[in-house]
Structure 1
Amino acid sequence: MTEQYKRWYSRNLSRDLDMLIFGDRGYPLILFPTSMGRYYQNKDFHLIDSARWFIDNGLVKIYCIDSIDGQSWYNKNIHPADRARTHIAYDKMLNEELAPWAMHETGVNRVAVAGCSFGGYHAANFAFKHPEKVGHLFSMGGVFDIKRFTDGFYNNDIFYNNPVDFLPGDNHPDLWRMNIILGTADHDFCKDENIRLSNILKQKHINHWLDIRNGTHDWPVWRQMFPHYLSTIK
């Protein structure tokens, strides 16, 4: 399994970003870390190992991007409006820099996005905001309501980065073409959020799979889910 470290300067974030890339060909998949996690977290917790067969056989190329959660949603030292603006810059980095680069590098015209826990939020938010760029969404133990991080403050920037708020009114046709899997567990404290998002998708007649497994909100469950979900990439 090939592994490459990459650092580049993001014009949208005005800072350097770190990333690990696994594989040399295949469907490009952007994999987010959990809350305030670093780019090496999914390797350290062996989520990448669970995908080794798909990487070794050239079916996926995985881009493990860094988070800036500590400067955005988790930053209690700035106003919630600034937390949202900081996240918007991160979203622009993904949309204008990383996703196009990954598509160009692999020769595939869409990306897959995935993440565990708060990484599931990042994956879902990006997929639903930019469905024209995303072919597959795999959330594992995801959270989808960002209002818990905004101290009661609410504006359009928060609305348009809160999937349970903006998705009901979003009618982009590519939403109905996306492969969407919401993975959770029967004892996952995020299960209700996954059921809530699933119900929104049902109301819009968007095909998806709400996968509820035995277990808790933890890596052993996610390591079982991830290779299963990768097997659905066509």
Structure 2
Amino acid sequence: MSERIELPVPGTDATLGVIRHGHFGRPMLVFPSEAGRAEDFANNGMLDAIRGLVDAGRVTLFCVDSLDGWTWSARDQPTEERARRHGIYHDWLEQSVLPHIAYEMGGWQTEIITCGASLGAYHAAHFTLQRADVAPLAIGMSGSYDPTTWRGWGDIGDATYFANPMAYVRGADGDHLNWLRSRASLLLVVGQGPFEWEPTKSYPSTLAFADVLREKGIPHQLDVWGYDSAHDWPWWQRQLAHHLPRFV
């Protein structure tokens, strides 16, 4: 494990952290669950679940902090303001994290995978759909993909629309849609067990998002696990260990 690196958040005096695991292989940008930190992936057994791939030099992980406490989880703020703030987080990913990954990996030798569970699944899918040129594959586990359903309030506008994969994918057409069809691919994994229905609504949201992707012809896979598969780290460990080897 590398040391935690602090990278500047554009337009602010703040920094957010990145931790690297691995020495070679395909880079994977890993988002934590809601309001989480870069340390969470290792601390919750996810690194151990795929350690063989990391040690074999097949994948290098770049685990990042979230900014959810100031963005999507800031429920004292209206939805549109949360979405605007999320744009600052996206700027951090583009302007600070992507150059860091390129530097650490010696350039863009291979394309990035994005990965996350719970709210991290939203971040993974959204980033791939926005930046499929460098991160064409997203792995989302137990995700919820429509921010307008996250106990929001107030009028919504462009900031929310362009941060909402369910909305902007449904509205995509023309050259941009053709570009997404040619570049993006998403793996959506969800269980039917505890907390996947309520309160997270991950199960219905994942199926609804898969339907939108299917209607728009965007490559994706939907993998639904059983009624024992819970919204929790032990199941995300199994799901990632099951799927990741075929991508790296």
Please indicate the TM-score interval, normalised by the length of the shorter structure: over 0.9
Q: Which residue of 2 aligns with 1:216?
A: 230
Give the Cα–Cα distance (whole angstroms) in 2 for the partners of residues 172 and 101 of structure 1. 29
Q: Which residue of 1 aligns with 2:179?
A: 173
Can you list the C-alpha shifts for 1:126-169, whole angstroms capped at 9, x where unaligned?
A: 11122212121100001101013431421000000000000123
Q: Which residue of 2 aligns with 1:91?
A: 90
Alignment check: 8 A CA contact 1:13 1:90 kept: no
Residue type of the partner of 1:182? L
TM-score by length of 2: 0.87
Matched, 1:76 2:105: no
The answer to which structure has the higher strand fraction is: 1
Q: Which residue of 1 aligns with 2:146?
A: 145
Residue type of the partner of 1:35? E
User: Structure 1 residue 111: deviation in Å?
Assistant: 1.3
Give the Cα–Cα distance (whole angstroms) in 2 for the partners of residues 175 and 87 of structure 1. 25
- 169-178 or 92-101, larger mean C-alpha shift: 169-178
Give the Cα–Cα distance (whole angstroms) in 1 for the partners of residues 136 and 246 of structure 2. 11
Give the Cα–Cα distance (whole angstroms) in 2 for the partners of residues 212 and 141 of structure 1. 10
Q: What RMSD, in angstroms, separates the aligned Cα atoms of the two structures?
A: 1.7
Quick one: percent identity of the two aligned structures?
A: 25
Unaligned runs of 5+ residues in structure 2 are: none
Matched, 1:155 2:157: yes
Give the Cα–Cα distance (whole angstroms) in 1 for the partners of residues 134 and 80 of structure 2. 27
User: Structure 1 residue 221: deviation in Å?
Assistant: 1.3
Give the Cα–Cα distance (whole angstroms) in 2 for the partners of residues 178 and 228 of structure 1. 21
Matched, 1:128 2:129: yes
Can you list the C-alpha shifts for 1:70-105, whole angstroms capped at 9, x where unaligned?
A: 111111333433222211010011122212331343
Residue type of the partner of 1:220? P
Give the Cα–Cα distance (whole angstroms) in 2 for the partners of residues 10 and 196 of structure 1. 33
Alignment check: 8 A CA contact 1:7 1:19 kept: yes
- 169-178 or 210-219, larger mean C-alpha shift: 169-178
Alignment check: 8 A CA contact 2:29 2:114 kept: yes
Unaligned runs of 5+ residues in structure 1 are: none
Q: Which residue of 1 aligns with 2:17?
A: 18
User: Structure 1 residue 228: deviation in Å?
Assistant: 2.2
Alignment check: 8 A CA contact 1:28 1:103 kept: no
Cα distance change of structure 1 residues 224 and 71 upon mapping to structure 2, 3 Å threshold:
same
